[in-house]
């Protein structure tokens, strides 16, 4: 049975994303898809969805969602909580890494994530795909966020799930050198791998700009004949400051690429904040493949650890303050409440 999810407030930086739009880069269409596919897979896994099912990606501020017609089950992933507004006026906090079923007319107010967060819906969002994907690509107007989203009716009742927070590794971002590292001086290459850079405020789903030591180009210069680029490529224009490409990046570019972030570390880039320090470490293809396999095992182990959620959840502060808790206060030494043998002070 079909259901609908209404977006009562759109939030900021909210888009529909899935596993990406594969197979169209030759006609200039970017990959797109979730900036952190691991967190999207975690949210989907709590609901029993395929890992790349379409959900909502939140970059700045979450939306307000309302179930229409039928119950809708939702999961959150990332450093991002929400507030459930029940039909009877109740308010309950919904933590990340858990699921919740919205009954018709109930709302979920999603907060702001640190980095990126995901809202998965049981059965996935069922918006019409375009070029094999439901992912939004705003620069070309592909898949806008509508005010009403089709989805699947929640299956059964009392089957909410939760898990511990999933986190990424820390340490330097691992990269494979090149493919145009000959366009950089030996001093620039040493700086790139030994000195720190900072993330600037210039960032979006297309890429991140870093600030740090200037990376001088060799006599080959700061321009190349445009060739293919991919998410994770690190371009360095004439100013010597790196540009790190993300999911919505262009398909070709004319700046030399000093290195490319390995697949296992790409999700980490989505959680960087302006001012964060970034360092890089060179690895080879074997280490990159091993890191990707290890990440897949971590996700599999995390999904296996999901457990039933506590019934009812915890009321939030507003609900507690609205209750007449003081009216239930009693004196601990009231003789009418305690048998002599258990009265305080005896």
Of the candidates 274, 282, 204, 208, the one whose C-alpha atom is nearest the C-alpha of residue 241 is 208
pLDDT along the chain (346 residues), means of 10: 92 96 93 97 97 97 96 97 90 96 97 96 96 93 90 84 95 97 97 98 96 97 94 97 97 96 97 96 98 97 92 48 43 46 45
What was the pLDDT predicted at 273? 93
Distance CA(338)–CA(65), nearest Å, equals 48
What was the pLDDT predicted at 312? 53
Full-model pTM: 0.88
Burial profile 132-151: b = 16 or more Cβ within 10 angstroms, e = fewer: ebbbbbeeeebbebeeebeb
Alpha helices in 148-235 (DSSP H): 186-194
What was the pLDDT predicted at 291? 98
CA atoms within 13 A on the CB side of 275: 0
The structural domains of the chain, ordered by start, are 2-164 (no CATH), 173-283 (2.40.100.10)
User: What is the DSSP pairing of strand 107-110 with strand 82-85?
Assistant: antiparallel
What was the pLDDT predicted at 65? 98
Distance CA(15)–CA(34), nearest Å, equals 9
User: What is the DSSP pairing of strand 161-162 with strand 277-278?
Assistant: unpaired
């Amino acid at each position: 049975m079909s259901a609908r999810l209404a977006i009562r407030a759109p939030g900021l930086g909210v888009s529909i994303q899935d596993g990406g739009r594969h197979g169209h880069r030759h006609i200039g269409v970017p990959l797109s898809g979730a900036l952190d596919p691991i967190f999207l897979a975690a949210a989907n896994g709590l609901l029993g969805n395929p890992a790349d099912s379409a959900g909502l990606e939140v970059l700045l501020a979450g939306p307000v969602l309302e179930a229409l017609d039928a119950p809708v089950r939702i999961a959150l992933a990332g450093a991002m909580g929400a507030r459930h507004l029940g039909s009877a006026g109740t308010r309950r906090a919904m933590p990340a890494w858990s699921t919740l079923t919205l009954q018709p007319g109930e709302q979920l107010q999603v907060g702001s994530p640190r980095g990126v967060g995901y809202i998965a819906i049981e059965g996935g969002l069922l918006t019409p795909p375009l070029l094999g994907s439901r992912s939004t690509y705003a620069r070309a107007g592909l898949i806008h966020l509508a005010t009403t989203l089709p989805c699947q009716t929640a299956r059964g009742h009392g089957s909410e799930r939760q898990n511990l927070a999933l986190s990424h590794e820390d340490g330097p971002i691992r990269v494979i050198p090149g493919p145009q590292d000959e366009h950089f001086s030996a001093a620039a290459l040493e700086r790139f791998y030994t000195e720190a850079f900072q993330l600037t405020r210039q960032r979006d789903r297309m890429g991140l700009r870093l600030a740090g030591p200037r990376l001088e180009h060799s006599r080959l210069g700061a321009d190349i004949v445009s060739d293919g680029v991919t998410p994770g490529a690190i371009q360095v224009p004439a100013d010597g400051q790196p540009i790190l490409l993300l999911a919505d990046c262009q398909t070709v570019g004319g700046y030399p690429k000093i290195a490319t972030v390995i697949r296992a570390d790409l999700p980490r880039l989505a959680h960087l904040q302006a001012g964060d320090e970034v360092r890089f470490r060179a690895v080879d293809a074997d280490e990159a493949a091993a890191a990707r396999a290890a990440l897949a095992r971590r996700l599999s182990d995390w999904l296996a650890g999901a457990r039933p959620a506590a019934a009812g959840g915890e009321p939030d502060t507003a609900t507690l303050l609205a209750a007449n808790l003081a009216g239930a206060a009693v004196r601990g030494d009231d003789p009418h409440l305690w048998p002599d043998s258990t009265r305080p002070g005896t």
